[in-house]
């Protein structure tokens, strides 16, 4: 299967900002700030807060490494997921996402995720990817979130296994989304500034709403 085409319009736009450096060995995640109400102004997108483990995925010429939010290498603990990530049609990439085990209704089950690690039976773990930080020779972290996610969506439209999924964002108003999340017993909603770059560490550009 061919690698992802360089003719994608979003890809061409991103390539105008070349870092000139090599792919980093480690990128620590951007973390959300807890808030008691949705933002009152600005351009924001809203995603489900998955009840699971944060997962940073590094791909380099077919070799995959899976890191925790603190930078620990957990590749050996999730061999099936690492193998699934090799199907992504890229040469080099960094993805930000979450590792979960869905229940029978498709909702993340944190107890099932913990049990999978305790029993060393992690084949049911799924990664929901929600950000793309590096693609081939391009550092995307200075690009706005909307650009990074457009590239990620294009990438995920290629043939990928069920173990690797795109984390959708939702157009509904945040108040309705939070109410729906509570009704479905989800962990919450993450609001992200659509025009902001990616910054490792705690950030006011990402807000967690309960």
Alpha carbon distance 56, 174 (integer Å):
26
Question: Could you tell me which residues come within 8 angstroms of residue 152 by beta carbon, excluding any fewer than 6 positions away?
Answer: 95, 129, 130, 131, 132, 166
Tokens coding 74: 């957990």
Tokens coding 108: 């993340």
Write down the catalytic residue from 49, 86, 183, 185. Answer: 49
For 34, the enclosing helix (H) or strand (E) is strand 30-35
Catalytic residue at 49?
yes
13-31 as b/e: b if 16+ CB within 10 A:
ebeeeeeeeebeeebbbbe
* Token pair 């157009």: residue: 171
Alpha carbon distance 181, 47 (integer Å):
10
88: number of Cβ within 10 Å: 22
Residue numbers annotated as active site? 49
């Amino acid at each position: 299967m061919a690698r992802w085409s360089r003719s994608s319009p979003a890809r061409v736009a991103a390539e105008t900002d070349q870092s000139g450096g090599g792919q980093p060995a480690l990128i620590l995640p951007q973390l959300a700030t807890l808030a008691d109400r949705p933002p009152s102004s600005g351009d924001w997108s809203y995603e489900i807060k998955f009840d699971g483990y944060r997962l940073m995925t590094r791909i380099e010429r077919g070799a995959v490494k899976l890191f925790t939010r603190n930078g620990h290498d957990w590749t050996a603990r999730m061999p099936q997921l690492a193998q699934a990530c090799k199907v992504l049609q890229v040469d080099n990439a960094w993805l930000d996402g979450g590792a979960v085990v869905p229940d029978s209704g498709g909702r993340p089950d944190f107890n099932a995720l913990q049990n999978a690690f305790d029993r060393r039976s992690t084949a049911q773990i799924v990664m929901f990817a929600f950000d793309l930080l590096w693609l081939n020779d391009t550092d995307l972290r200075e690009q706005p979130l909307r650009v990074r996610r457009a590239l990620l969506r294009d990438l995920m439209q290629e043939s990928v296994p069920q173990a690797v999924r795109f984390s959708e964002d939702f157009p509904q108003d945040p108040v309705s989304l939070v109410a729906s999340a509570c009704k479905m017993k989800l962990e919450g909603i993450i609001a992200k500034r659509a025009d902001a770059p990616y910054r490792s560490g705690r950030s006011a550009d990402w807000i967690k709403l309960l």
